[in-house]
Chain A
């Protein structure tokens, strides 16, 4: 089965604290994974693609095939990071399979 699991519905941290949003996947073969972010009243937008190994807005994510995980991390959270974060897997047919999302709330 092809599946993405985000175990936390809500994650609340204080500004300046480290953040880790968890994502686990189930996929046979080489997965292609993404993190999308949706700020309040804005469209869903791409944050990270594992294939490009980039760092955007201080966020990084490493694919761990042994643990089938693609956790999103940031060393120091900012208030503007508050948003819904979705982990997504490109399915075998090419479509995206999304997790249920984690709402990140960064308190001042």
Chain B
């Protein structure tokens, strides 16, 4: 079974630009969540989508947004990029229900550098 796939793996953007990151979950998984990983703050939850609806949201500004498509694939968008947005953005998927099988699996991440 293929794992969580994220594209692009690396990208460099300029302050003020916007960026869109893409994620394909494990087949059969309906929940997709996004995390930001930085050396200073560690791993922080951005938001979760389930069946095309945002189900949960972390404490990030409105510049960070996302969506999920009917095939469970997800995108996240960051507008008006700031230097502090430089980070590894991780996508994770799970089947979205309760119990032991709701383990969350991570992709390799998209490295974003803002200059």
Contact = CB atoms under 8 A, between A and B. Distances in A.
A86 B109 CA distance: 16
Interface of A: 34, 36, 42-46, 49, 51-52, 86, 91, 93-101
Centre residue among A44, A45, A46 by max chain B CB count within 10 A: A44
A46 B94 CA distance: 12
Contacts of B104: 46, 96
Nearest to A99: B42
Given A96-B104, A99-B42, A44 B90 contact: yes
Nearest to A54: B100
A52 B103 CA distance: 11
Contacts of A97: 45
Nearest to A43: B108
Interface residues of B, number: 23
Given A44-B43, A93-B48, A95-B56, 16 more contacts: A36-B106, A43-B3, A43-B4, A43-B108, A44-B90, A45-B105, A45-B106, A46-B105, A49-B100, A86-B43, A95-B33, A95-B58, A96-B35, A98-B43, A100-B42, A101-B42
Interface in B89-110: 90, 92, 99-100, 103-109
Nearest to B42: A100
Nearest to A6: B42
Nearest to B55: A94
A104 B106 CA distance: 21
B111 to A, nearest CB: 12
A43 B109 CA distance: 8
A4 B99 CA distance: 21
Contacts of A46: 103-105
A49 B99 CA distance: 11
